[in-house]
């Protein structure tokens, strides 16, 4: 039986992980965070939503169903990575990492519900999604390269600069989580906030965004200067996404956080992080490992010459 190709399946896993972030935002923005007030059941007597729970129960339960679908896709990726010939260890490890992360995400989601949407636990829930997105992208990326030793496409200083960019991108996401925890969209009426000053945290977040955009522009120009087209394209893509995300962020702040723009901003955060990982992985390539040459076996051994008679 021919196995399905891993590359489209890994792409489906990546898209599903990003979609889970968006549906999670929908749960929070519609005040459906406690639509299923307990976990792992939806209610004390049912694993599924009931008509008495209304639309909030439907929204929260649908988000849980997407988590199950995400697990099925991740399991399929792992099975294909394990069974394909030749088996590629890196793909097995990455697919297993994604697979194991999804139940972990479910547990954190359950703790979120059981702690009545504690903003710090909600933030951890989001950050775990970012980690899964990074692993899913790395899995997808690995299907387009070999397993040979990495070949760096840029010099060490540029690799260090890109690492600094990656840290700044992670910092922007973490501060964004803190801003969200101080804002009005708590996921349920009466849910706690983190108690920090929203304006001060938002200003720190914006300052770090400006640093990230500056670093991305510098990296893009540096890649062009050293004639590294693949990393340069990845950096330019990241820069465009960052500028779009920054525009959405400023508009949502000055329009008092309308739901539609907040949801778009959550999607944008996932895309910024994905594009950041893409730049990081574009710094090197991995050639295929050449197959060991096989020596031809002669059809028959030569007959030894008869020894001269004495």
Tens digit of pLDDT per residue, the chain (310 long)? 567 789 999 999 999 999 999 988 888 888 888 888 888 888 888 888 887 778 888 888 888 889 899 999 999 999 999 999 888 999 999 999 999 999 998 899 889 988 888 889 889 999 999 999 999 999 999 999 888 888 999 999 999 999 999 999 999 999 999 988 887 777 767 678 888 888 898 899 999 999 999 999 999 999 999 999 999 999 999 999 999 999 998 898 888 888 888 889 999 999 999 999 999 999 999 887 665 554 544 555 555 555 554 4
Are residues 100 and 24 part of one domain? yes
How many domains would you assign to the chain? 2
Are residues 138 and 3 part of one domain? yes
Are residues 255 and 212 part of one domain? yes
Are residues 239 and 156 part of one domain? yes
Tokens of 267: 């999607």
Residue 258 domain-assigned? yes
Count how many Cα atoms sit within 13 Å of the Cα of residue 252 in the half-sphere of its side chain: 24
Element (H, E) at 284: strand 284-285
What is residue 50's predicted lDDT score, i.e. its pLDDT? 80
Question: Which one of 144, 171, 203 terminates a domain?
Answer: 144
Are residues 160 and 74 part of one domain? no
What is residue 47's predicted lDDT score, i.e. its pLDDT? 83
Choose among 249, 285, 42, 18: nearest CA to 147.
Answer: 285
Burial class, 165, CB count within 10 angstroms (exposed 0-12 / middle 13-18 / buried 19+):
buried
Radius of gyration of the chain (CA): 25
Tokens of 307: 């020894």
**Beta carbons within 8 Å of 176's beta carbon, 6+ residues apart:** 205, 269
Are residues 126 and 226 part of one domain? no
Residue 308 domain-assigned? no
Tokens of 249: 């962020």
234 and 264 in contact (C-beta within 8 Å)?
Answer: no
Are residues 135 and 5 part of one domain? yes
Residue 91 domain-assigned? yes
Are residues 97 and 204 part of one domain? no
Residue 228 domain-assigned? yes
- Distance in angstroms (rounded) separating the CA atoms of residues 206 and 96: 36
What is residue 282's predicted lDDT score, i.e. its pLDDT? 95
- Distance in angstroms (rounded) separating the CA atoms of residues 131 and 123: 13
The structure's pTM equals: 0.89
What is residue 54's predicted lDDT score, i.e. its pLDDT? 83
Q: Which domain holds residue 214?
A: 150-288
Residue 297 domain-assigned? no
Are residues 139 and 4 part of one domain? yes
Choose among 127, 143, 153: nearest CA to 234.
Answer: 153
Q: What angle do CA 286, 99, 50 make, to 5 degrees?
A: 145
Are residues 171 and 196 part of one domain? yes
Are residues 229 and 200 part of one domain? yes
What is residue 76's predicted lDDT score, i.e. its pLDDT? 95
What is residue 291's predicted lDDT score, i.e. its pLDDT? 56
96 and 78 in contact (C-beta within 8 Å)?
Answer: yes
Which 3 state secondary structure label does DSSP give 185? coil
Are residues 71 and 186 part of one domain? no
Residue 302 domain-assigned? no
Residue 305 domain-assigned? no
Residue 282 domain-assigned? yes
133 — alpha (psi -120 to 50), left (phi > 0) or beta?
Answer: alpha
Tally the residues of the chain.
Answer: 310
């Amino acid at each position: 039986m021919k196995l399905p190709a891993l590359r489209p399946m890994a792409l489906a896993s990546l898209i599903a992980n990003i979609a889970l972030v968006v549906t999670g935002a929908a749960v929070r923005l519609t005040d459906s965070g406690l639509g299923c007030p307990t976990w792992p059941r939806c209610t004390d007597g049912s694993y599924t939503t009931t008509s008495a729970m209304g639309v909030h129960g439907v929204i929260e339960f649908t988000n849980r169903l997407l988590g199950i679908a995400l697990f099925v896709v991740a399991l399929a990726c792992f099975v294909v990575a394990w069974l394909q010939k030749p088996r590629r260890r890196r793909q097995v490890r990455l697919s297993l990492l994604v697979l194991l992360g999804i139940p972990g995400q479910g547990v954190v989601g359950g703790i979120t519900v059981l702690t009545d949407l504690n903003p710090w636990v909600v933030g951890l829930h989001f950050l775990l999604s970012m980690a899964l997105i990074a692993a899913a992208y790395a899995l997808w990326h690995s299907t387009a390269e070999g397993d040979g030793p990495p070949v760096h496409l840029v010099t060490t200083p540029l690799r260090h600069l890109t690492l600094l960019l990656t840290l700044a991108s992670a910092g922007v996401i973490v501060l964004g989580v803190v801003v969200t925890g101080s804002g009005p969209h708590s996921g349920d009426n009466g849910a706690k906030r983190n108690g920090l000053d929203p304006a001060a945290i938002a200003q720190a977040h914006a300052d770090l965004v400006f640093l990230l955009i500056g670093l991305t522009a510098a990296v893009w120009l540096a890649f062009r200067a050293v004639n590294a087209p693949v990393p340069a394209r990845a950096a330019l893509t990241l820069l465009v996404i960052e500028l779009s995300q920054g525009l959405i962020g400023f508009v949502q702040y000055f329009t008092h956080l309308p739901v539609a723009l907040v949801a778009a901003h959550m999607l944008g955060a996932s895309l910024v992080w994905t594009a950041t990982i893409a730049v990081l992985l574009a710094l090197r390539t991995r050639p295929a490992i050449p197959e060991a040459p096989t020596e031809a076996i002669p059809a028959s051994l030569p007959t030894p010459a008869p020894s001269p008679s004495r």
